[in-house]
Amino acid sequence: LVRFPEDLEDENTTFNPEYSHQVFGDDEVAFGYKGLKILLYYIAGNLSTLFRIEYTSKVNEKFDCVEADDVESKIREIIPPGFCTNTDDFVSLLEKEVNFKPFGMLLHTYSVHNEEAGEDITYQIYKADMTCPGFREYHERLQTFLMWFIETASFIDVDDERWNYFLVFEKYNKDGATLFATVGYMTVYNYYVYPDKTRPRVSQMLILPPFQGEGHGAQLLETVHRYYMSSPTVLDITAEDPSENYVKLRDFVLVKLCQDLLCFSPGKLMQGFSQEMVMEAQQKLKINKQHTRRVYEILRLRATDMGDAEQSRSYRLDVKRRLIGPYKKKQRELAKMRRCLRPEELTNQLNQIDINMQHEQLEESFQQLVSDYRRVLERLAQA
């Protein structure tokens, strides 16, 4: 991500993809080159792109009787047309970066202290849509990062007006002028819920690698929740096929939002999960029942003295009653089998459903969950 011409030569500003299977196949291999480097430079704000390929040698079809992979065409399938192929053109575009401004409506401004710079850096979150001049082309460049950093990423249909886009930018100074650098973004699809509601579903969320670990994901998700909370037509907010990291982030944000609700006071938490919690979390914060249950378990853990045998046992049983659901389903299936299967078939099925193993798996799931919950509470204590 380039802010100054010298960034082009600075290896410290380079970051590598986490995934390349969507471009180069499951083996993530480009055949036929020695010393291959695929170089993509993006102007930090508007993401204008410079694309170069370097290598020390390449197999020759004439002499080696094999053909090298066409790396350039594979990359061209991902990045939109109009990119630069030489440095001079790219640097001349960089000089115009001072004219770049964020798209859409400003929702939230916050600061993060940067130890290296020894100062607070300001960030802003905007909501944009395809009617913003220049946003369609900018989004085409922005979404290219998905292919390298989200395992199952795909490009979305931007002509569907039910998409909302939320963008994070850093404000920085260059030669006395204020400029903006792209930090990350989120896409949200608004599903219709009969008769007169919508259910926003988070589809993609990415904080670019140089900015990860600074709390921007939590700021973005909380801002998006607060944006939808004010709408009377929104039922609740969900996510499409959430990753493990996203679930942990969501746990933190939702617990932070819910902890001050009256229904989550320590006294009420110790009485168990209630319909009051479900109703209040949905009506005030647009959180669905499943996510509210996780919030309850995390906040109840904070209110529980796990050194007290009775409190600890009560908490463990409460969480395990939820976790045991899939195992009870297996037992119901087993009861059906007893009625339908011949003895030898039933024996075969019983071997697959070992009760002791179920208890071990249940305990393992519980311990993992408590470990995850403790991390959320530690982060909350530091917030």
The single-letter code of the amino acid at 374 is: R
Do 29 and 66 touch, CB atoms closer than 8 A?
no
Do 174 and 164 touch, CB atoms closer than 8 A?
no
Q: Can you point out the beta strands (E) in the chain?
A: 33-34, 37-42, 49-54, 57-58, 105-114, 119-128, 163-174, 177-193, 197-207, 238-239
CA distance 144 to 154: 10
Active site residue 240: yes
Of 61, 151, 161, 240, which residue is the catalytic one? 240
- Produce one character per residue of 97-129: b if its CB has 16 or more CB atoms within 10 Å, e if not: beebebbbeebbebeeeeeeeeeeeebbbbbbe
- Produce one character per residue of 289-328: b if its CB has 16 or more CB atoms within 10 Å, e if not: eebbbbbbbbbbbbebeeeeeeeeeebbebbbeeebeeee
Cα separations in angstroms, 323 against 295, 311, 355, 369 = 15, 19, 15, 10
Do 45 and 180 touch, CB atoms closer than 8 A?
yes
Report strand pairing: 177-193 vs 163-174: antiparallel
Residue 313's SS3 state is: helix
CA distance 108 to 368: 35
- Known catalytic residues are 240
